[in-house]
Amino acid sequence: MSIINSYNKKQLIVIFTIVLVLSFARSSVQLYSIIGLSYVLTLLLLVLNSNSPYIRVPRLRLYDHIPAAFLFIWGYGVLIGLYNGNNIQYIFMNFAGFLVYLFYYFLLLVKISKELIYKVIIYIGLFILTENIIVAILLFAFDVNIYYSHNQIVNIFFGNFLGGSSTGQIRIYSPSQLVAFPIFTLSLAYLLKKKLKINENIIFLKKYTLISLILSAFVLIFLSASKGYMLAAFMVFLSIGFLNSAKERFYFGKLVLLFLILILILNISGYINIATSIFSEVDIANMERDRQLHLLLEDINLFGNGLGATLPGSVRDIERPYGFELSYVNIVHKFGLISFFLFYYYLYTVVKIYKEFKRNDIQKKYIYMSLGLMCYLFPAIGNPILYSPQSVIMHVIALFLLRPECKIEKKKLAFAWQPIMVKDI
């Protein structure tokens, strides 16, 4: 008998998929190949599992319809795109990340634990922080050009980094840095209220909370020099304050003090202009987004233009002319009135975080991690990352961690390959 049975193999596939997508994938082809392969391998293991006529199946709840809703909306966008005669290639390339929402159901099928997913995300975040610190040392101490297309060796080992912030700072920016937000969120929460660390099993977070907060803040706020990341960091401060009772004056005193220290450091270092330029109309990057905004608004209609729709007079990327930096306006342009449901489910996820925190049925660390994972929503305001595979995986994991505990049942199968029917309760 194999030491790693088929059950564990399925979990390993899911874990490796998360690690590869959030840490090592360097291109869209790699990302979608990894996810597609994980779907195929997991399904094969489920079909070939003939060790027992019984299989434990999680009972689906109404909550579990959320990822399916994203998939149905994607299907609607495809149909409207076909109806409008949009370029076929563009239709299926545009917002292909929607298909990653299927990954949620694979998490349920392999019956992976929240604790294991939690640990995987933390270790990925620590890896990303270490990676960014090394790259910063290479750039600032040894003058090694770490930017994409200039140093393929760095690109292979550390990934793609962009420079040239519109606010004037030298920056090291990569979407992979988003995975550090859960560490930033948890570290801030733990530093403010030590008793939250009771169920924390990651030694670095538990014993070196201040160091993990400083490192994550350094990478997310200073190295990235990103207006979107800074907005997300500010929202973390606001959200953590809102999550906790206003009666805890000492808690809020520490939160305000930490925030004032951050503002002081930003002011002294000259990075405060990033905060003041987040929605500035004179910022160079924002000026281009403003131009896109007017063109998109003029082309919006009730039923949407469908996936793959381009915009006359505005081409952000010659290879992907259907994409725009204003992600939220773009989904209205593509899906029309149906995009309301997308906004609803994002809002639902955020509200769910606050409700579960007050309800106290789910461990606080899972809730804080979900808050950190959803931080990608803020840089997505001005960047086309809303439906990147990394962002969707983060949303899927947040939904999984916030999922109410569900009973499991046994279903007898006449044949190992017989499909499993699960009734909604």
Residue 73 is predicted with a pLDDT of 98
1, pLDDT greater than 50: no
Which position has the higher pLDDT, 293 or 245?
293
How many residues does the structure list for the chain? 425
- What would the mean pLDDT of 127-151 be, rounded to a whole number? 88
Which position has the higher pLDDT, 3 or 265?
265
DSSP 3-state of 37 = helix
Residue 360 is predicted with a pLDDT of 87
Structure confidence by residue, pLDDT tens digits, 117-136: 999 999 999 999 999 999 99
Residue 52 is predicted with a pLDDT of 52
At a CB cut-off of 8 Å and minimum separation 6, what does 406 contact?
58, 59, 60, 61
Residue 408 is predicted with a pLDDT of 41
Structure confidence by residue, pLDDT tens digits, 375-411: 999 999 999 999 999 999 999 999 999 998 754 434 4
As a whole number of angstroms, the distance between CA 161 and CA 357 comes to: 36
Residue 413 is predicted with a pLDDT of 36
Residue 28 is predicted with a pLDDT of 87
Closest CA to 102 of 70, 77, 62: 70
Using CA atoms, how far residue 184 sits from 199, 239, 264, in Å, is 18, 13, 19
14, pLDDT greater than 90: yes
Residue 264 is predicted with a pLDDT of 97
pTM of the model: 0.91
Closest CA to 105 of 73, 75, 61: 61
102, pLDDT greater than 70: yes
DSSP for 36-55? HHHHHHHHHHHHT--S-SEE
418, pLDDT greater than 50: no
157, pLDDT greater than 90: no
Strand partners, 56: 410
End-to-end CA distance of the chain: 37
As a whole number of angstroms, the distance between CA 125 and CA 122 comes to: 5
177, pLDDT greater than 90: yes
Strand partners, 408: 58
As a whole number of angstroms, the distance between CA 229 and CA 221 comes to: 6
Question: Which H or E element spans position 231?
Answer: helix 227-243
As a whole number of angstroms, the distance between CA 4 and CA 11 comes to: 10
Structure confidence by residue, pLDDT tens digits, 354-381: 999 999 899 999 999 999 999 999 999 9
